[in-house]
Structure formats: structure tokens, C-alpha cells
Structure 1
Amino acid sequence: MTMSENRKSWSLLKTDPALVLALGSTVVFYCIVLQPAMHGTLLARYTSEHAVEYVIVTLFFWGMFDIILKLLALPREYLATRHEWIPPKVGREPASKSVELLAHVRNNSAWLLASRTGRRLINALTFVAEKGSAADYREHLQHLADLDDQESHTNYTVLRFVIAVTPILGFLGTVVHFGAAIGGFSFEDMEAKLPEIVSGMGTAFNTTSVALATAMTMMFAMFLCERVELSVVASIDRLIDHDLLHRFEVKDANIVPFLAVIQTANREALDGIARTSQEQVKIWTKGLDVLFEHFAERQRLELLREQASFDALRQRYESFESQREDQMRQFFALIDKRHDENWAQIQLALDRASMFREDVSQLLQAMNAIARGEGRLVELQTSLADNLRLLNDSSQIDSALHGLTAAIHLITSRSRTIGMSDSAAA
């Protein structure tokens, strides 16, 4: 091998770290699988029975490490799309502004400048800065977007090759196994060595199974990785469209003289509009001054009317206050009069209550006297009953009746005397 070929192979390994990692992982994998403890296991039977299986395992590691490295690079691209690269645009800007924006972009970190977003921004702004105008700027942005899409597709070329060649290697291993299993036997030895032939055919199908399993795994992982990368590219396209697509003024060199004429006419029109506006402002100022004078006069009259209304209202309030004070004095005088009358009635009631108490006291004394008289009447009744019984026994009823009549007259006269004394006391 020549020196140039050695350099080419070394540059291939240097530019493809996934291949380097795949070779190292293959060596480590077979150092583990070829151990005596792994003999007879399912993993050893499917990956170490034929040389083709060694190649299939190496290609599987190559494809998976390539996908893993691409996935590890996507977070940087995602963060770059979220970074604020240039100030927000405010209307259309001249093409000369691109030089300042380009310097602003290049002031960012190296890892941001190495991202797709940074490279796309630098290419777009460099195009405008070098050309000095935004002519064909939209087409250039579309060209950069197409280049990014092409790069995304190119990045998976090796992986597509690995996925496509892996099943072919599996079929090749199966054919080689079939040839090895059948080629060493004659037709006479077929019946005796049939179990050995069947075992060799099973080993041949193992190679195809491993190849198909690894190809499907790498295809599914590539599908997921490619979808994520396409979403990042779409985010970059949206960022470029938002920040750069309609940012710069587009001027054609053929229409510059016409633009000068239009600008001159525009300045003259603006001057005429300014003069007309000044005259109109003066007219409006005079009209507003007259209007303000009318308004001030009307406001003065309104203030006078309101002052008169306030004076009349204050007079009515003072009159009402005086009337209310007179009514309150009359009310308090009436209350004092009623209070004196009520006090006199209360005094009269107290005097009558005192007289009633004395009458009750005399009544109680009379009732006590009556009670004492009733006790005597009981004694008299008893004695009369005894006398009547004696009279009845002695047959002197007439004399007893006369005596009883006299006693009744005596009691009656006595009761009248007590009644007259009570009336005189009342």
C-alpha cells in the first residue's frame, strides 16, 4: 500500500468517527461473545457462526453509532434556532445594514457559528454585503434552504448504504452456508449425513435472520432521527424567513433614475402639502380661538347663573333653618307643658293612692271589729239556742220571743251605728 492510500484510509477514519467507534465496539463485542462461557448461547449462535455475521455486526454498530452521533448534534442545532442572532427588524432596511448585522452574527460563540443556523445566516448576510443590494436575495435564500435539505439527505447516504447492504450480506451468508452444507456430500452419503446437512441449513438461515433484524432496527432508528432533523431544518427556515426574507430594501439599477424623479416630485408634493397644512393650521387656529372665546363667555354666564342659584339656595336654606328652630322651640315648650301636666296628674294620683291606703286601713279596722262582733254573735247564738231549749223545756216561749226580738233590735241598731261611723270616717 502506498503512502497516498494510507493517508486516504486514515482520513476516512478521521472524518467518520462512527466507523472508528463501530470497529472498536465490534472488537469488544466479539471478545465477550467468543469467551468459553458464551459458547452455545443464542447470541453466539446468531453472531459468530460465519464470517458474514462478523461483517453484519460491524455494519450494525456503524449504522447505530452514526445515528447516535447525529442525535447528539441535534440539541446544538435546536439551541441555535432559539438564540437571538440579530436585532428585530423595524420595517425595510438598506442593504448596507447587512455589514453591521454580519459583524453582529460573527460575535457569537464558535459552537453557534458552526451550527446550521449560524452558517445559513452568515451566507445570507455575506451575499447582501458583498453585492451591495438585495437583488436576487429571495432566490439566494431559497438556494441556501435547498442546500440544507440536500445536506440533510446526504448525511444519511452511508446509513442508507449500510441498511441496504445488510440484508444482501444476510442472503450471501445463507447461500454460503447452503453451499458449505450441501457441497461436501455425495448423493449416496445424503441419507447418512442428513442431520448434519439440516443443521448447516439452520445455521444458514440464522445469518439472514440477523441481517434482517439489524436492518429493520437501523431503518427505524434512521426514520426517527431523520424526522427530528427535518423538524430542526424547518425551524431554521422559519427563522430565516422571519428575520431576513423581507428585511432589506430591493432596488433595481434600471429604475434608479425613475426613482430620483419620483423622489423629487414627492418632495415637491410634500412641500406643497406642508404649506397647505400650515395655512390650514392658521385658519383652524383662528377658528379655535373664536370658539374658545365663545366657550369662555358661555362658561362665565354659566358660572353667574350657578352663583345666583347657589345664593337663592343658601337663602332658602337659612329660612328653612330659622323656621325649623322656631318649630323646635315650640315643640320643646309643648313638651315642657305636657311634662308639667303629667307631673301634676302623677301628684294627684299619688295623693289619691295615699287616701286609698288610709281608706283600706280603716276598712281593715272595721273588718277586724266585725270579726270580733261575729265572735260575740256566735256566743250570743249559742246562748240563745240554750235559752230556747230551756224555754221550750219550761214552756216560756212567748217571753223568749220578746227577748229575742229585743236582742235583734239591739244588734240592728248596733250595726247601723258602725255603718254611720264608717261613712263619717270616709
Structure 2
Amino acid sequence: MAGRNNLASNSWSGLASVALGPLVAAIFYSVLYVSPVPFLHRYFMGHPVAYAATVLFFVALVGLIVRHLDTRRQLGIVAGLADSELKPAERTSSDLGEHVTHWLDHLAQLPRSERGCQLVHRLEDLLGRQQRRKTTRFLNDDLRDVSDREADQSHDSLQLVRIIVWAIPMLGFLGTVVGITQTLGGLDFSDGQNAVDNLKAGLYVAFDTTALGLVLSVIAIFLQFPVEKKMNHLMATLDQRSIEILSGGFPEESTADQPLQAIAEMNRAVLASVNQLVETQAELWKKTVDSAHDHWTSVVGNAGDQVQSALTEAIELTLQSHAEHVDKTHQNASQQIEQRWKQWQTALSDNARVLMVQQQTLAQQNELLIGTADRAKELAEVRELLQTNTAGLSAMPEMSDAMRSLARAIDLIVDRVPSQSNRSKAA
């Protein structure tokens, strides 16, 4: 019963937020439309996404206000209810069923405003469980179960607000993307200055949506915190009051006359424990498998990155070494070619000088040969003259011998001169 009442309360809070949020946003825009503040017009009315983000913000704001007011009302009612109003003054019967029935009737006589309190709904739920079981052995388990369930319902009551807080900045980013796309698509670069002005104006509007979304989201988060704190305080108060009221409020039970019932309850407890253990073990196995899968995925990804990095470094080092080797080889080849070229130039220069010297020597020898040939002609003439003179002086024996000796000497000279000239030509 308490769970259904809390769900109904949460549903009513959500409907109020959805219904009143757009109405409050319409009032806000009505006031903003007539206000002469360009700054607010720029941020709240510059783009359709800004309208959507603002409406969502007011939906979340109304939801937070409704939950805050309801929580304060519940805390006020719980603080105003005394323990004597929530349980009978004395036990009317030693039978658990009759006592619980009397207790429920006592709660039903409370005023209507107090009967709508969450504490009363929780007590009715817990008493109904004990009445159906006809035992209070599992009262502590019921207290924990009801407390956890209502805490979850309290947390879920702000689910719409959490979604809106997450969605508002996303809308801002969406407005930025759409605004930039429209601005870039509508640019006309035929007029440069006009295109730049249009681009700046479009970017201002586009980024304003992101700024508005972030600001509204931050405001909603700060407003959500005190509301959640107040709701947690209400849950803690309900837990404490429930324990205080129910402790010692039931008749003592004796299981001596009901051995079969005790055994059945024990079997149910063991079965519930085994089921819980199996569920816990399955959950642990699932988490372990997921963790191992994530770990292996991470290890494989890291190994791939390391291999890629190592290959990249190795290839870079190899290419760098190869480039240095090629550069060094090129430099050595250039130096060797330059040295060979210098050697060839030196050899050619030396050969040219030798050839020039040999040419000069040959020219000198040629001149000498020409002079020798002239001398040979002169000697030949002298020999003919001497022969003529020898024939004329043959009557003079002594003179004739002297002239013969002179003729032989001249012949010998003439014979030697041509041989030397021939050797010079051969050289």
C-alpha cells in the first residue's frame, strides 16, 4: 500500500512538472518579451534550441519545487505525530493477528491529513506483512526491505529532473552545431566583409546556445542538491520513527507449541538465503567475466599500441640510419670523385708540361739538324774543293799526303754528322 501511494505521489509530481513547467516558461517569455534587456533576448530568444532548453529547465525547476514542498509537508506531519497517536496505548490481545487488526483500526481513525503521511503508510505496510505471516521474526528484514524500496522510489522521483539536467547541455551543443552548419551553408563569399560579418553574427548565436545550456544545467544541479538532501533526511526520519514505534509493540511469540511452523519458517529463511546467495554469486561471476573481458580488451589494445609504436620507432630508426648511410656514402663518393678529378687535372697538367718541353726540345733539335745539314753541305763543298786541289797537287808528294789526310778527316766528319742527325730524328 505504501509503495502504491509513493508511486502515485511520484506520478503526480511528474505530471505537475510536465504541466506547470511549460506554463511557467510561457510566463517567463511573456515577461522577457516586453522587457528591454538585449542581453536576455540574445541568450533566451536567439535560437529555437534556446527555447527548448529554457522550457526543459522550467519543467525541472517545477519538479524540484513540488518535491521540496511535498518533502517539507511530510517532515512537518511526521514531526507533529506522537508515538501515542500511531500505536495503541496497550495490547488488547496476546494473539498477533488480533493485535495487528486493532493497531490497523487505530491508524484508520487518524485524521485524513495525517493518514496521507508516508510514516502512516509505512506502518500500515509493515503491520500488514506481520499479519499475513502471523509472526514477527522477519520484522527487521521487512524494515530494511520497505526502507530500501521507499529510498529507491524517492530517488526515482527525481529521474525526470536528472534527465533534463543531462539533456540541457546536450541541447546547447546541438544548437551550436546546427547554428554553425546553417551559418557556413548560407555564406556568400562574393562580398568578403559582408560574409565575415554574417559569420561572426551566426557564430555568436550558435555559441550562445551552449553557454545558456551549461548555465541552466549548473543552476539545476545546485537546486537539485538541497532537495535531495531534504528527501534523504525524510527517509532517515521515517526509518528511525518506524523502528521506535514497532519495537516492543507486538506480543511475545512462543514457538514451543508450533514446531512445524517454526521449521517451515526456518526452511523458508534458508531457501531465501540460498536464493540470495545464488543471485549474489551469479552477479559476482558476471562482474568477474565483464572485468576480465574489459581487462583483456585493454591489454590487447595496449599491446597493439605498443607493437605499433615499436614498429614505428624501428622503421624511423632504420630509415634515419639508412639516410645517414646514404648521405655519408654520397659525401665519400663526392670526395673521391673530387680527388680523382684533381689527380686527373694534375696528371693532364704534368703531361701538357712534358709535351711542351718535348716540343721545345724537338724544335731545338730541328734547328740543330737544319744547321748541321748546312754544315754538311759546306763540308761536302770543302771536300770536293779538296779533292780538286788534291788532284792538282798530286805532283807534290808531301803535299798530296797531307791533303789526303785532310780529305779522310773530312769524310769521317761527314759520315758522323748524318749518323747523329738520324739518331736525333729517332729520338
> With structure 2 as the length reference, what TM-score do the two structures score?
0.53
1:26-65 to structure 2, matched below 5 A, reads: 26-35=25-34, 38=36, 41-65=38-62
Structure 1: distance between partners of 2:242 and 2:13: 33
Once the two structures are TM-superposed, the CA of residue 247 in structure 1 deviates from its matched residue by 3.1
CA RMSD between the two structures = 2.8
Once the two structures are TM-superposed, the CA of residue 17 in structure 1 deviates from its matched residue by 1.1
Once the two structures are TM-superposed, the CA of residue 189 in structure 1 deviates from its matched residue by 4.7
Structure 2: distance between partners of 1:89 and 1:220: 48
Per-residue CA deviations over 1:279-306 (Å, capped at 9, x if unaligned) read xxxxxxxxxxxxxxxxxxxxxxxxxxxx
Structure 2 unpaired stretches of 5+: 1-10, 262-427
Structure 2: distance between partners of 1:13 and 1:228: 19
* Rg comparison, structure with higher value: 1
Distance 1:116 1:215, change over 3 A: same
Once the two structures are TM-superposed, the CA of residue 250 in structure 1 deviates from its matched residue by 6.2
Structure 2: distance between partners of 1:148 and 1:164: 24
Which residue number corresponds to residue 67 of structure 2?
A: 70
Distance 1:256 1:13, change over 3 A: closer
Which residue number corresponds to residue 177 of structure 1?
A: 179
Per-residue CA deviations over 1:228-287 (Å, capped at 9, x if unaligned) read 11001100000011111443356475763699xxxxxxxxxxxxxxxxxxxxxxxxxxxx
**2:13·2:67 contact (CA, 8 Å) conserved in 1?**
no
**1:80·1:115 contact (CA, 8 Å) conserved in 2?**
yes
Whichever residue aligns with residue 24 of structure 1, its letter is L
Once the two structures are TM-superposed, the CA of residue 159 in structure 1 deviates from its matched residue by 0.4
Determine helix, strand or coil for the equivalent of 1:70: helix
Whichever residue aligns with residue 55 of structure 1, its letter is A
1:178-217 to structure 2, matched below 5 A, reads: 178-186=180-188, 189-217=191-219
Structure 2: distance between partners of 1:19 and 1:197: 37
Q: Which moved more, 1:243-252 or 1:202-211?
A: 243-252
Q: Does 1:16 align with 2:15?
A: yes
Q: Does 1:115 align with 2:114?
A: no
Whichever residue aligns with residue 141 of structure 1, its letter is L
**2:172·2:211 contact (CA, 8 Å) conserved in 1?**
yes
Per-residue CA deviations over 1:140-164 (Å, capped at 9, x if unaligned) read 1211111111111110100000000
Distance 1:13 1:244, change over 3 A: closer
Whichever residue aligns with residue 75 of structure 1, its letter is R
Structure 1: distance between partners of 2:206 and 2:142: 55
Q: Which moved more, 1:167-176 or 1:181-190?
A: 181-190
> With structure 1 as the length reference, what TM-score do the two structures score?
0.53
Q: Which moved more, 1:187-196 or 1:146-155?
A: 187-196
Determine helix, strand or coil for the equivalent of 1:128: helix
Distance 1:89 1:42, change over 3 A: farther
Determine helix, strand or coil for the equivalent of 2:174: helix
**1:56·1:170 contact (CA, 8 Å) conserved in 2?**
yes
Structure 1 unpaired stretches of 5+: 1-11, 260-426
Per-residue CA deviations over 1:374-404 (Å, capped at 9, x if unaligned) read xxxxxxxxxxxxxxxxxxxxxxxxxxxxxxx
Which residue number corresponds to residue 229 of structure 1?
A: 231
**1:134·1:250 contact (CA, 8 Å) conserved in 2?**
no
Distance 1:257 1:147, change over 3 A: closer
Whichever residue aligns with residue 48 of structure 2, its letter is A
Which residue number corresponds to residue 320 of structure 1?
A: none
1:167 corresponds, among 166, 169, 174, to: 169
Whichever residue aligns with residue 78 of structure 2, its letter is T
Distance 1:252 1:213, change over 3 A: farther
Whichever residue aligns with residue 151 of structure 2, its letter is D
1:17-416 to structure 2, matched below 5 A, reads: 17-35=16-34, 38=36, 41-82=38-79, 83-84=81-82, 85-87=86-88, 95=96, 96-186=98-188, 189-249=191-251, 251=253, 256=258
Once the two structures are TM-superposed, the CA of residue 93 in structure 1 deviates from its matched residue by 6.7
Which residue number corresponds to residue 293 of structure 1?
A: none
Q: How much identity, in percent, do the aligned residues show?
A: 22
Whichever residue aligns with residue 174 of structure 1, its letter is T
Structure 2: distance between partners of 1:26 and 1:130: 49
Aligned residue pair count: 245
Structure 1: distance between partners of 2:94 and 2:176: 67
**1:134·1:249 contact (CA, 8 Å) conserved in 2?**
no
**1:22·1:59 contact (CA, 8 Å) conserved in 2?**
yes
**1:138·1:245 contact (CA, 8 Å) conserved in 2?**
no
Once the two structures are TM-superposed, the CA of residue 174 in structure 1 deviates from its matched residue by 0.9
Once the two structures are TM-superposed, the CA of residue 203 in structure 1 deviates from its matched residue by 1.3
Once the two structures are TM-superposed, the CA of residue 107 in structure 1 deviates from its matched residue by 1.0
Structure 1: distance between partners of 2:256 and 2:43: 73
**1:88·1:243 contact (CA, 8 Å) conserved in 2?**
no
